[in-house]
A and B are shown apart, each in its own frame.
Chain A
Amino acid sequence: MNVDFEQINKSFISSFTRKKVHAVIDLNLSVKSGEIFGIVGPNGAGKSTLLKMVLGFIKYDSGSISIAGKSPMEPETRINMGYLPENPYYYDHLSAEDLMKFSATTSGMNKKNIQPSIDHLLKIMNLEHARKRHLRTYSKGMTQRAGICFALVHDPDLIIFDEPMSGLDPLGRKLVVDLVLDLKEKGKTIIFCSHILNDIERLCDRIAIMDKGRLKKMLNREQFFSEQDKNIKKGTSWLEKIFIDTVENRVEQ
């Protein structure tokens, strides 16, 4: 499932000062089908805004976004999409199973496939024991894993993860890493937004570094390996170095 961004601009009006704040500026980007695409950037870089535009939560001021040839503003576009928000918060009095049933039903999943899919995902995400428990009794890591189940239950082709590792312990992170790699093998397109550069480095085929609403740098897998070889010897993470260089450049400018 291709996602294409063409000359995207988005600005907000600040509620107090009534000043125009540019969240995304002239962004051109193309996420190819079957790849894991990472987006990194400091706070306020416009990463979450970009994801919210893909999901149709907010409208872009100009340009166009195409998801497999469809507009993100059409609800049908989201049939084949799964989304895990940053710091997900779900209904307190519902269980993970309730939530997943809702996700599967609204996505038009065949009734007979719903329960097996729920069972399978809860098992993978190690939530089987808590399937009937109300979500308000879940720990942060469990809520995060429930959110992943919610996003994936209908087997979407495009998956958007906004900080999927936040709040997860090392075991939880390993679960998610394995899951993402498994999804990649199945040919799913994944847009992955994170502050944890290690995860991005490990998982993504291409990485976009965003800063102040602009796309600053685009890196691909080949560059990773050549840079990685050089930097491992120095004992530094190559992505961390590039990221800091890019952001520091901005500060100097």
Chain B
Amino acid sequence: MNRILALSWLTFKEGIRDRALMGICIIGLVMLFATIIFTGVFGYDLGKVLVDLNLSTIAFAGLLLTFFVNINLMAKDIDKRTIYCVLSKPLSRTEYIIGKYLGLILLVFIALFILLMVSSGIIWFVKSFYAQIYFKNFSWACFLQACFYEILMFFVLNAVVIFFSSISTSSFLVLLFTIATYITGQTIEEVMQFFKKEAMAEQLPQINQWIIDIAQYIFPNFSAFDIKTLASHGKFLPMEHTMALIGYSAIYTILLLFFASLIFNKREIT
């Protein structure tokens, strides 16, 4: 366990000192502060607009962080052969995969947590600035629940990064595959619902239906983590839903890390 923690700390340190991370955080902070101005432009439902904009900014920053910092942190190990220094230590390949994953999610968690703190401060400030009638649907619990769901989504997305990094030696391909998975994961539920409509289902060949069914199980359903609209309307999801989503994320992540480790164990580090 010490070895895994040492590697995750090393990965976290390398990531936190990356200037790209600083840039992403600055972009995130600027966007969050801009929500103060944007919210004032709207004449109604200020609470809804505020929550929507803040959650979107946090999600955007998380995506930038995952796509441009975390993928780079993984790919650099193979590209620049820094992996030699890690694997020359008594670490198994599985420990390497877990250590790297923990380092990446710690980085995401810390960065998003800071943005969440700033975001909460901004919401508190804007709320105190305008009449409370504009915020009748606003609920801190809903806002925090939506943030928690977003962070959970990034835990799964970073497992996707690890999985593709174990297959490919090119950081560009890892980026491409991860973006494709993210887009598919965000839209798969809608596509499924569209095709499963009665009229559509009758026209669709059986094979296509199978493909959609299989895709539904293979790709992570990222849209399930996106509850921005509900949060902005002050709708709190029951704890059972949250627990089910935590379970889904944990199973999906463990499976991805398991397969990544299987592949990586077979891989030759030349």
A and B from one complex: yes
Point out the residue from A59, A78, A89 that lies within 8 Å of B90, measured CB to CB.
A78
Q: At the interface, yes or no: B45 with Cβ under 8 Å from chain A?
A: no
In angstroms, Cα B268 to Cα A131, docked, is 33
Ordered by A's residue number, 6 sampled pairs between the chains whose C-beta atoms are within 8 Å are A57-B84, A57-B270, A78-B90, A103-B89, A107-B89, A147-B85
In angstroms, Cα B88 to Cα A78, docked, is 7
User: In whole Å, how far is A239's beta carbon from the nearest beta carbon of chain B?
Assistant: 28
In angstroms, Cα B87 to Cα A56, docked, is 8
Q: At the interface, yes or no: B200 with Cβ under 8 Å from chain A?
A: no
Q: At the interface, yes or no: A134 with Cβ under 8 Å from chain B?
A: yes
Q: At the interface, yes or no: B201 with Cβ under 8 Å from chain A?
A: no
Q: Is A106 touching B87 in the complex (CB atoms < 8 A)?
A: no
Q: At the interface, yes or no: A225 with Cβ under 8 Å from chain B?
A: no
Q: Is A58 touching B90 in the complex (CB atoms < 8 A)?
A: no
How many residue pairs link A and B with beta carbons under 8 A? The number is 81
User: In whole Å, how far is B6's beta carbon from the nearest beta carbon of chain A?
Assistant: 4
User: How many chain B residues touch the partner (CB < 8 A)?
Assistant: 26
B-facing residues in A107-151 (Cβ within 8 Å): 107-108, 134, 147, 150-151
Q: Is B85 touching A12 in the complex (CB atoms < 8 A)?
A: no
User: In whole Å, how far is A150's beta carbon from the nearest beta carbon of chain B?
Assistant: 6
Q: With A12-B270, A58-B270, A107-B90 as given contacts, are A99 and B6 in contact (CB-CB < 8 Å)?
A: no
B-facing residues in A69-101 (Cβ within 8 Å): 75-79, 81-83, 85, 88-94, 98-99
Q: Is B87 touching A57 in the complex (CB atoms < 8 A)?
A: yes
In angstroms, Cα B80 to Cα A142, docked, is 18
User: In whole Å, how far is B267's beta carbon from the nearest beta carbon of chain A?
Assistant: 9
A-facing residues in B81-95 (Cβ within 8 Å): 81-82, 84-85, 87-92, 95
Q: Is A58 touching B269 in the complex (CB atoms < 8 A)?
A: yes
User: In whole Å, how far is B72's beta carbon from the nearest beta carbon of chain A?
Assistant: 10
Q: Is the interface of A mostly helix, strand, loop or mixed?
A: mixed
Other than the known A85-B88, A106-B7, A151-B88, what 20 A-B pairs have Cβ atoms closer than 8 Å? A57-B87, A58-B268, A58-B269, A75-B90, A75-B91, A75-B92, A78-B88, A78-B89, A88-B84, A93-B14, A94-B13, A94-B14, A102-B7, A102-B10, A102-B89, A103-B89, A105-B3, A106-B89, A106-B91, A108-B2
Chain A residues near B81 (CB, 8 Å)?
A: 85, 89
Chain B residues near A59 (CB, 8 Å)?
A: 268
User: In whole Å, how far is B109's beta carbon from the nearest beta carbon of chain A?
Assistant: 19
Q: Is A55 touching B17 in the complex (CB atoms < 8 A)?
A: no
Q: At the interface, yes or no: A184 with Cβ under 8 Å from chain B?
A: no
User: In whole Å, how far is B102's beta carbon from the nearest beta carbon of chain A?
Assistant: 14
In angstroms, Cα B268 to Cα A193, docked, is 21
Q: Is B91 touching A99 in the complex (CB atoms < 8 A)?
A: no
Chain A residues near B17 (CB, 8 Å)?
A: 93-94, 134
In angstroms, Cα B85 to Cα A107, docked, is 12
> Which single residue of chain A is at the shortest CB-CB distance from B266?
A59
In angstroms, Cα B90 to Cα A12, docked, is 25
In angstroms, Cα B13 to Cα A75, docked, is 24
Point out the residue from B10, B87, B92, B95 that lies within 8 Å of A98, measured CB to CB.
B10
Q: Is A89 touching B13 in the complex (CB atoms < 8 A)?
A: no
Chain B residues near A151 (CB, 8 Å)?
A: 88
Chain B residues near A93 (CB, 8 Å)?
A: 13-14, 17-18
Q: Mask for B1-31, Cβ within 8 A of A = 1, else 0?
A: 0110011011001100110000000000000
Q: Is A57 touching B268 in the complex (CB atoms < 8 A)?
A: yes
Q: At the interface, yes or no: A52 with Cβ under 8 Å from chain B?
A: yes
Q: Is A52 touching B89 in the complex (CB atoms < 8 A)?
A: no
Point out the residue from B6, B7, B82, B92 that lies within 8 Å of A90, measured CB to CB.
B82
A-facing residues in B64-107 (Cβ within 8 Å): 76, 80-82, 84-85, 87-92, 95
Q: Mask for B168-206, Cβ within 8 A of A = 1, else 0?
A: 000000000000000000000000000000000000000
Point out which of A76, A77, A107 has the most chain B C-beta atoms below 10 A from its C-beta. A107
